[in-house]
Structure 1
Amino acid sequence: MLATPGPLPTGPGWSFEVKWDGMRVLASVTEGAAGAGRTLSLRTRSGRDVTPNFPELADLVTLAPDVVLDGEVVLLDAGVPSFAALAHRMQGVVDPAAARRRPVTFMVFDVLRLYGVALLDRPLAERRATLERLDLPGLAHVEASPLYPDGAALLDVTAQRGLEGVVAKRETSPYRPGRRSPDWVKVAHRHSQSCLVGGWRPEKGGRARIGALLLGVPGPDGLEFAGRAGSGLAGSAVQQVLAARLGPLTAQASPFATTIPRVDAAGARWCTPSVVVEIAHLGWTSAGRLRQPVVRGVRDDVDPAEVRREPG
């Protein structure tokens, strides 16, 4: 279930949480047949298995023999969740010793199944009460995402502390997998947009490094050009990930529905638009371009089919 961007709801019947800047993950624990033991599976919204990426969350298997949890994996940087710091952890298997040195935290906000009973049609308030009866405090690196009754106060506090924003949830709402629901409303302090990479330009001077990405968002007539982003690409980790992802996707022609301005397209190398990147920006221009886009990282947890233009 996904949140809809909008103004902060007011009135009774709403609860409020911090909008965590991390990777959305479904954690599933199942009991094997004939005493085979329990198995933990961590999957992203796109269905990708990221269990080997987060070995520090292995204690989740002790929670119950059958349970499905929804939450956000975050990595703290100076006490604040940092998507940029988490980005490299999304890409592949992580050594348990390295994970222990800088562990993630799984912030759980919903329980979808327990002891074989599906809870999707139960109201949020009931699901949350069930979640709080589980022994999450007894697990390493797992916490229940706190609830707050005053959304406006939480919005102020999150702004002061540099957090991403607030999510408001209607307490009577059922859980609808994969749907973007008005019963969950997200209010962000900064603009963020998932984009598809339709091409890239090498750095000047003949270097093989990626100097800029050509960004796109699906529209009614095809992939719409959303701008060129060069900021945020300096690190070796992001360069390695992008090179590995984009290399096999080389295309002979532009995937965009319209002609790209010459100033942006000069020297471009086109690719099939199936890699999703997270972009921080300062809003949209009247021409449909992102203002001052900055690449925050690759989003392997987002299905390319889910990408759409967010207001901002």
Structure 2
Amino acid sequence: MNLIKPMLAVSGQPFSREGWIFEPKIDGTRCIASTRKRAQLTNRRLADISYRYPELVDVLSSLKGEAVVDGEITVFKKGIPSFRSLAERDHQNDPIKIDYLSQSMPASYVVFDILHLNGRSLMHLPLRERKRILFQELEQDLENSESMSLIDSFPERGEDYFQAALKMGIEGVVGKRLDSPYLPGTRSQDWVKIKKSLKLDLVVGGYIPGKGDRRPYFGGLLLGAYSQGKLTYISRVGSGFTDEELRDISRRFLPREEPPFSDPPATPQARWLEPRMVVQVTALEITAEGGLRAPVFLRLRDDKEPEECTLDQIA
């Protein structure tokens, strides 16, 4: 299929509005997939991730017709997306382990849009029409599927649905204007993500050497975000890593002599890195100085380009 960059949402506060729908925010791996004789799955960076999710490829390949759909891959635990389980699936390259995990820790693909159908682009159509076609084409085929589903949506009352989502253990909702076309690669005001917790995607620009059990790896990562083409230092994160994540992240380090930050922290032990790696962290709040209070590492974001991690997340 022709590769398509996904349409993106801006961040916002809870609201209710006529002409909008609200969907649960599934915090997983964004994926655009084709349904054809042999399905293909691509992430936000347009990398082919089909080999990591053979159980999803099987379902998509069995569907009638040829469509291109947009959605999120996640791993559910007790009905709630699991960060740790998804990370284990999303960074696996060993074919034997992939086959084992596809059975012991199966992924789910939650579909919320349709972009092409039988060779015809639908992206110019309003969302309300794309939703109608999506359910018309796929709802019956997916009725008994355990690994692929169509997302639920609720009209207008975004504030009520946001509170309901929090009670269900979901991190938030996404509001979408029903008249909106699909704009590939665009962060549009027509889609608004509303989250309960502070989660940020930041660029690794350096690290602090580890001590004790962390000596082979690192003590903390130095993180930043882009503004007008420059990488601004935000915070250090040193907690939340499993042993496997410590090893994996350390193996990805690409050392450099000069700091990549426009305003590097005055940390004598700092070691600088090429700003190629993206991580997601959570924190209690943004400090008055623009840093993070009590940041904790959540996961690597191989599906996101460093330049996408901008300073407006911190606003």
Give the residue type in structure 2 aligned to 1:55: P
Structure 1 contact 25–42 (Cα < 8 Å) conserved: yes
2:130 counterpart residue number: 127
Give the Cα separation in 1 of the matches to 2:192 and 2:286: 21
Taking structure 2 as the reference length, the TM-score comes to 0.90
Q: 213, 220, 224: which is aligned to 2:232?
A: 224
Is it true that 1:15 corresponds to 2:21 in the alignment? yes
Structure 1 contact 221–257 (Cα < 8 Å) conserved: no
Is it true that 1:79 corresponds to 2:79 in the alignment? yes
Structure 1 contact 91–241 (Cα < 8 Å) conserved: no
SS of aligned partner of 1:267: coil
2:275 counterpart residue number: 273
Distance apart, 1:244 and its partner CA: 2.5
Structure 1 contact 277–297 (Cα < 8 Å) conserved: yes
1:298 counterpart residue number: 300
Give the Cα separation in 1 of the matches to 2:44 and 2:222: 24
Give the Cα separation in 2 of the matches to 1:51 and 1:162: 29
SS of aligned partner of 1:158: helix
Give the Cα separation in 1 of the matches to 2:161 and 2:116: 29
Distance apart, 1:23 and its partner CA: 0.8
* Identity fraction in percent: 36
Give the Cα separation in 1 of the matches to 2:226 and 2:237: 17
Give the Cα separation in 1 of the matches to 2:189 and 2:41: 26
1:175 counterpart residue number: 182
SS of aligned partner of 1:286: coil
SS of aligned partner of 1:272: strand
Is it true that 1:253 corresponds to 2:271 in the alignment? no
Structure 2 contact 127–180 (Cα < 8 Å) conserved: yes
Structure 2 contact 89–98 (Cα < 8 Å) conserved: no
Give the Cα separation in 2 of the matches to 1:122 and 1:115: 15
1:25 counterpart residue number: 31
Structure 1 contact 104–141 (Cα < 8 Å) conserved: yes
Q: Deviations over 1:207-242 (max 9, x none)?
A: 212221000101236211111000112x12211321
Give the residue type in structure 2 aligned to 1:131: L
SS of aligned partner of 2:46: coil
Residues 179-218 of structure 1: pairs in structure 2 closer than 5 A: 179-205=186-212, 207-218=215-226
Q: 118, 137, 147: which is aligned to 2:121?
A: 118
Give the residue type in structure 1 aligned to 2:76: L
Identify which range, 158-167 or 168-177, moves more after superposition: 158-167
Structure 2 contact 31–43 (Cα < 8 Å) conserved: yes
CA RMSD, 1 decimal: 1.7
Give the Cα separation in 1 of the matches to 2:244 and 2:33: 27
CA separation of 1:66 and 1:56: change in aligned 2, threshold 3 A: same
Give the residue type in structure 2 aligned to 1:97: Y
Give the Cα separation in 2 of the matches to 1:65 and 1:250: 48
Residues 38-77 of structure 1: pairs in structure 2 closer than 5 A: 38-58=37-57, 59-77=59-77
Give the residue type in structure 1 aligned to 2:177: R
CA separation of 1:283 and 1:95: change in aligned 2, threshold 3 A: same
Give the Cα separation in 2 of the matches to 1:197 and 1:275: 6
Distance apart, 1:113 and its partner CA: 0.4
Identify which range, 159-168 or 5-14, moves more after superposition: 5-14
Identify which range, 20-29 or 283-292, moves more after superposition: 283-292
Taking structure 1 as the reference length, the TM-score comes to 0.91
Query: Segments of 4+ in structure 1 off by > 3 A?
Result: none
Structure 1 contact 88–237 (Cα < 8 Å) conserved: no
Give the Cα separation in 2 of the matches to 1:7 and 1:211: 35
Q: Deviations over 1:26-49 (max 9, x none)?
A: 11234xxxxxxx221111111111
Structure 2 contact 290–314 (Cα < 8 Å) conserved: no
Instruction: Structure 2 unaligned segments of length 5 or more: list them.
Output: 1-6
Give the residue type in structure 2 aligned to 1:112: L
Q: Deviations over 1:126-160 (max 9, x none)?
A: 11111112123254400001112232222112212
Distance apart, 1:162 and its partner CA: 2.3
1:155 counterpart residue number: 162
Give the Cα separation in 2 of the matches to 1:41 and 1:211: 39
Q: Deviations over 1:274-302 (max 9, x none)?
A: 10000111222232212211110100111
